[in-house]
A and B are shown apart, each in its own frame.
Chain A
Amino acid sequence: MSGRPISRREVSHLLTRALFWLVIILVALYTMLPFAYAISISFRTNAQVLVTARYLPEDPQLTNYQNLLSDRNFMRTMLNSSVVASVTVLLALVVGSFAAYALGRVQFRGRMVVLYLVLAMTMFPQISILSGLFAIVNDLGIYGSTAALMFTYPIFTLPFTVWVLTSFFQGLPPEIEQAALVDGATPFQTFWRILVPLTAPALVTTGLLAFIAAWNEYLFALTFTLVNKSAQTVPVAIANFAGYSYEVPVADRVAGAVVVTVPVLVLVLIFQRRIIEGLTAGAVKG
């Protein structure tokens, strides 16, 4: 150290710097620690978890994961969730991009009415129509099946998809259709061959968000599949997990939670830039 006294300015600068990194580290710990702890718990046996709390497992074991992966019921719920979420996304993207193209690129009477209807739907509290949906699902004879979920999930994925894709279509230059029209393309060809490929990034983003929403959904899944174990999705299975012993299932349940979260987490981390763009697009434009 040189003998030069440190000026007050430098001290305050250093302090700010230190404080800044402290906040960064705290935030990182705060967001990451609970999940890290979940992984730690999942490597202990249930009996160990019920005796003491430990930050790190005493002798890491894979029993919980082995149990889960050999549990056909659990794997079944993973399959159910994947199928339900994929079908929901596919439906939302196909049906939603049709509507979004009409709303975003075509001038017609009644456009604003439909547009506001869709906007109102995105704010709609789905829980309040639970009993009505219940009756319809019952009438259609699909209560207690994954079909009930594929039928009801569009209520939250579809309006959102239509809304995001509409604003995306509106952002494309208007010359595209004119050029296509000159080349003799029909409106549907223009839409399917030219505009849909252009919207691929938006489709990926909305598709991902819809997938995560469907994968994480709990209220409808619980209401419509509680009676039928083989139709349940993972959130319902995790919440009602009974474990593999007569003890309170803590470690096995958390291990299940980790397994459920990993696919979503991988998706999110791969596409994080896209997802952040998609999540924040609506908010910044106001």
Chain B
Amino acid sequence: MTLIPPGGTRRRPTEQEAISLELVSGLLMLIGFFAFAYLFYAIATNADIKEATQGPEVPGIGLNVTLVEPDEPEEPPYFELHPIAGGTASTTGIRAGDRLTKIDGEDATPETMTLEQVRARLAEADVPLADDDFEITLEFLRPLPDGSLRAETRVVPKNVPPTTTIAYLKSFGFVVPLLLVLLGIFLIRLGTRLRQYDVVAARWALVALLWLMIGLAVVALWSFWVSGKGGLVTKEPFNYGKAVRGAVPFLVAIIPLAIAYKWLGTVIDELLVGEESLTSRNTRFAWTLLVPTLVVLALVAARPLEQTFIKSLTDDQFGTNRPARFVGLRNYANLISFKFALIECRLDDSGECARTPNQSIIWERSKAEEEEAEKLRSLTSAERRRYVRYQEAATWRLPNSTKGIRLLGKDPTFLKSVGNTLRFTVSSVTLELVLGLLIALVVNSGFRGRGLMRAAMLVPWAIPTVVSAVLWQAMMRPDQTGILNKLLLDLGLIAGPKQWLAATGPWMNSIVAIDVWKTTPFMALLLLAGLQVIPSDLYEAAAVDGASKLRQFFSITLPLLRPTIAVALIFRTLDALRAFDVFQVLLDTTRPSMAAYNYNTLVLNRMDGYASTVGVMIFILIFIFTVLYVRFVRIEQE
């Protein structure tokens, strides 16, 4: 097929047509330039970047000072400073839970000062509280009904580190600017090619105009909603006047595009000549259809992923105006630092391990923990503020000995969450596979009411996970009012009521049981579908040869079912690794899954940067796991 080079006209264009074409091409180029201009404008006016370059404006803030009794008895009580929620408290350089350790160089603990003295001391003006970048001055103090103190402070930035790059990356990143630049280049090129009466360019221009109009309509809808709604706190009613005013500019902007689209559509048929290859036409058609999907995925997946990676390298905090600082891999180091220590238990008179009243073993402090405490003592208070110490994540007793191994981590909760998630995943997926296979085999041997059975099996799958958690919470009530306890007591299977979900009870098994209940039927359905494609004459042949049912299972069913099992396992494992609902609803924040921990750090602690690091770690763990799994399964198949 000979390809006539595009370009050229059927007849001499009229003057009006020539002008219109110039106008359309001009419009396209204008939008292209606008894409660039908008990018520069947004960067130039971005508040975060401005603040990072010029230093923040930090007004006064309020702080609550509370006396805290520590968890461990050896540690002295300390004072905590809590920024008052909302309002200007967000501009603090002090974080919630920061310890007030020294005032004017003197240790501020209940040993050295009474609360009254602290009050007096704090009441004096010009008491500097240490922070890396801010000098915080307490202005005055007010006692609150609950016994805590409220200190009004003035915060003055001391040295603001250069965070412009981070501020830029956080606000813009790469994905959106790249898309804007590409769009700009594309439209400008299209405009220039259109002026040469290029029919292919004209067709691409139609696609571009169509999606630009739809895009503008979506933006108008968004603007309508955002302009009209009141603030979250103020709870104003939806303001339709404002909303319409927000949407109108975008709707008006659609008009020239629509005119250009209409005109270009007629001109293509009447004026322009030029044949297009099938490949080129197909490519244009395919990309036309792919535009919305790609835009949605870029905004909802690529951009957040990029932002999560960027923020994981900063100490960004949600809800503060404090500019995020680049901290390198510190978050990662804090998250995954761990070490093991050999520990010994405290011996009682009989030479056995001493136990607390609720039967847990009393351990002596390990050498590593002693060193840690020693190090902490040697630090100044400013250094101590930054230092993250190792704490106990888990302890295992060695069999038949008075020794044990203790896992220490800088973020013990994260290590625990990884452990919880892995334990949960391994036990629930294994149980689900075995039970699911059993159920699938039974249901597969046709019987009357099989359809009904399959429908019944969908019930647990269809119940929302949260709802099943609530349901099981009611059934697992810790005393006689829980039906599970009642049932097991009636059957004589347990001696007394069990605390299924308490930290001292069999909570992991309970959680696994709930998950097994919810997803085993799904697993069984998947395997059942796999079983049904195995040709039945294989079994008939095996039966003729005198192979037993068991033999048939191991030499026919299992090998032929293997691909299905593999896929089901991958699905379920990935699902279990990101378990959130059950952990969040049924357990407290000290026993999270990885996902629940991510949620806690982000939403409850508002530690944006750190939560991002947790997210990246989950991403990496699941990614490694997927690759290993797929590889393993493939090797097995070969």
Determine how close the nearest CB of chain A comes to the CB of B298; give it in whole angstroms: 11
The answer to the question of B481 belonging to the interface, with a C-beta cut-off of 8 Å to chain A, is yes
Q: Is the interface of A mostly helix, strand, loop or mixed?
A: helix
Q: Answer whether A265 and B462 are a contact pair too, CB < 8 Å, given A108-B283, A132-B304.
A: yes
Q: Answer whether A106 and B226 are a contact pair too, CB < 8 Å, given A127-B578, A129-B304, A131-B608.
A: no
Contact A253 B303 (CB under 8 A): no
The answer to the question of A3 belonging to the interface, with a C-beta cut-off of 8 Å to chain B, is no
Task: Tell which of A140, A162, A257, A268 touches B467, judged by Cβ atoms closer than 8 Å.
Answer: A257
The stretch from B75-83, B344-352, B451-459 touching chain A is B451-459
Task: Tell which of B290, B299, B598 touches A128, judged by Cβ atoms closer than 8 Å.
Answer: B598
The answer to the question of A154 belonging to the interface, with a C-beta cut-off of 8 Å to chain B, is yes
B residues in contact with A158, CB < 8 Å: 293, 296-297, 300
Contact A284 B564 (CB under 8 A): yes
The answer to the question of B279 belonging to the interface, with a C-beta cut-off of 8 Å to chain A, is yes
**B489-544 residues at the A interface, CB under 8 angstroms:** 517, 521-522, 525-526, 528-530, 533
Q: Answer whether A136 and B522 are a contact pair too, CB < 8 Å, given A144-B232, A239-B470, A286-B564.
A: no
Q: Which chain A residue shows the least CB distance to B604? A: A226
Contact B296 A154 (CB under 8 A): yes
A212 CA to B595 CA, complexed, in Å: 21
Task: Write out, one digit per residue, whether chain B residues 588-626 have a CB within 8 A of any chain A CB (1) or not (0).
Answer: 000000110011001100001001100110110010001
The answer to the question of B358 belonging to the interface, with a C-beta cut-off of 8 Å to chain A, is no
Contact A128 B306 (CB under 8 A): no
Task: Tell which of A99, A215, A261, A269 touches B290, judged by Cβ atoms closer than 8 Å.
Answer: A99
A145 CA to B231 CA, complexed, in Å: 11
The answer to the question of B22 belonging to the interface, with a C-beta cut-off of 8 Å to chain A, is no
Task: Tell which of B307, B457, B568 touches A283, judged by Cβ atoms closer than 8 Å.
Answer: B568
B residues in contact with A256, CB < 8 Å: 470
Contact B459 A52 (CB under 8 A): no
**A62-115 residues at the B interface, CB under 8 angstroms:** 95-96, 98-99, 101-103, 106-109, 111, 114
A residues in contact with B197, CB < 8 Å: none
Contact A254 B471 (CB under 8 A): yes
Q: Interface residues of A, CB < 8 Å — how many?
A: 104
Contact B456 A219 (CB under 8 A): no
The answer to the question of A196 belonging to the interface, with a C-beta cut-off of 8 Å to chain B, is no
B residues in contact with A152, CB < 8 Å: 300
Contact A136 B299 (CB under 8 A): yes
The answer to the question of B482 belonging to the interface, with a C-beta cut-off of 8 Å to chain A, is yes
Task: Tell which of B293, B464, B530 touches A98, judged by Cβ atoms closer than 8 Å.
Answer: B293
Determine how close the nearest CB of chain A comes to the CB of B583; give it in whole angstroms: 11
B residues in contact with A279, CB < 8 Å: 522, 525-526
The answer to the question of A151 belonging to the interface, with a C-beta cut-off of 8 Å to chain B, is yes
Most buried by A among B305, B311, B464: B464
Task: Tell which of B229, B442, B470, B578 touches A23, judged by Cβ atoms closer than 8 Å.
Answer: B442
The answer to the question of A164 belonging to the interface, with a C-beta cut-off of 8 Å to chain B, is no
Contact B471 A95 (CB under 8 A): no
Counting chain B residues whose Cβ lies within 8 A of the other chain, the interface size class is 35 or more
Contacts across chains A and B counted by CB atoms under 8 Å:
303
The answer to the question of A222 belonging to the interface, with a C-beta cut-off of 8 Å to chain B, is yes
Contact A20 B303 (CB under 8 A): no
Contact A143 B232 (CB under 8 A): yes
Q: Which chain B residue shows the least CB distance to A126? A: B578
Contact A53 B477 (CB under 8 A): yes
Contact B595 A131 (CB under 8 A): no
Determine how close the nearest CB of chain A comes to the CB of B570; give it in whole angstroms: 8
Q: Which chain B residue shows the least CB distance to A153? A: B300
The answer to the question of B282 belonging to the interface, with a C-beta cut-off of 8 Å to chain A, is yes
Q: Answer whether A95 and B226 are a contact pair too, CB < 8 Å, given A32-B459, A128-B622, A154-B300.
A: no
Determine how close the nearest CB of chain A comes to the CB of B313; give it in whole angstroms: 13
The answer to the question of A180 belonging to the interface, with a C-beta cut-off of 8 Å to chain B, is no
Determine how close the nearest CB of chain A comes to the CB of B41; give it in whole angstroms: 16
Contact A269 B318 (CB under 8 A): no
A49 CA to B563 CA, complexed, in Å: 47
A55 CA to B305 CA, complexed, in Å: 49
A234 CA to B612 CA, complexed, in Å: 27
The answer to the question of A282 belonging to the interface, with a C-beta cut-off of 8 Å to chain B, is yes
Contact A98 B485 (CB under 8 A): no
A145 CA to B232 CA, complexed, in Å: 9
The answer to the question of B301 belonging to the interface, with a C-beta cut-off of 8 Å to chain A, is yes
B residues in contact with A34, CB < 8 Å: 460, 468, 471-472, 475, 517
Q: Which chain A residue shows the least CB distance to B497? A: A53
The answer to the question of A134 belonging to the interface, with a C-beta cut-off of 8 Å to chain B, is yes
The answer to the question of B25 belonging to the interface, with a C-beta cut-off of 8 Å to chain A, is no
Determine how close the nearest CB of chain B comes to the CB of A152; give it in whole angstroms: 6
B residues in contact with A226, CB < 8 Å: 603
The answer to the question of B1 belonging to the interface, with a C-beta cut-off of 8 Å to chain A, is no
Q: Which chain B residue shows the least CB distance to A162? A: B293
A223 CA to B622 CA, complexed, in Å: 22
B residues in contact with A222, CB < 8 Å: 584, 599, 603
Determine how close the nearest CB of chain B comes to the CB of A169; give it in whole angstroms: 11
Determine how close the nearest CB of chain A comes to the CB of B627; give it in whole angstroms: 11
A residues in contact with B603, CB < 8 Å: 222-223, 226
A236 CA to B603 CA, complexed, in Å: 15
Contact B282 A265 (CB under 8 A): no
A106 CA to B466 CA, complexed, in Å: 41
Task: Tell which of A53, A101, A108, A268 touches B458, judged by Cβ atoms closer than 8 Å.
Answer: A268
The answer to the question of A244 belonging to the interface, with a C-beta cut-off of 8 Å to chain B, is no
Contact A38 B471 (CB under 8 A): yes
Q: Which chain A residue shows the least CB distance to B482? A: A53
Most buried by B among A34, A158, A254: A34
**A138-160 residues at the B interface, CB under 8 angstroms:** 140-145, 147, 151-152, 154-155, 158-159
The answer to the question of B587 belonging to the interface, with a C-beta cut-off of 8 Å to chain A, is no
- If A99-B293, A218-B465, A268-B462 are given as contacts, then 4 extra A-B residue pairs at C-beta distance below 8 Å, sorted by A number, are A98-B290, A106-B282, A123-B574, A136-B303
Q: Please, could you name 23 A-B residue pairs with CB atoms under 8 Å apart, sorted by A?
A: A24-B442, A31-B517, A41-B474, A50-B481, A51-B481, A106-B289, A108-B282, A121-B297, A128-B616, A130-B599, A131-B611, A132-B304, A133-B304, A135-B311, A136-B299, A158-B300, A215-B464, A218-B465, A218-B584, A254-B474, A265-B462, A268-B459, A272-B454
6 shortest interchain CB distances as A-B pairs: A132-B304, A280-B529, A132-B307, A128-B619, A99-B293, A216-B464
Residues of B in contact with A (beta carbons under 8 Å apart) = 170, 222, 225-226, 229, 232, 279, 281-283, 285-290, 292-294, 296-297, 299-301, 303-308, 311, 318, 438-439, 442-443, 445, 447, 453-472, 474-475, 477, 480-483, 485-486, 517, 521-522, 525-526, 528-530, 533, 563-564, 566-568, 571, 574, 577-578, 580-581, 584-585, 594-595, 598-599, 602-603, 608, 611-612, 615-616, 618-619, 622, 626
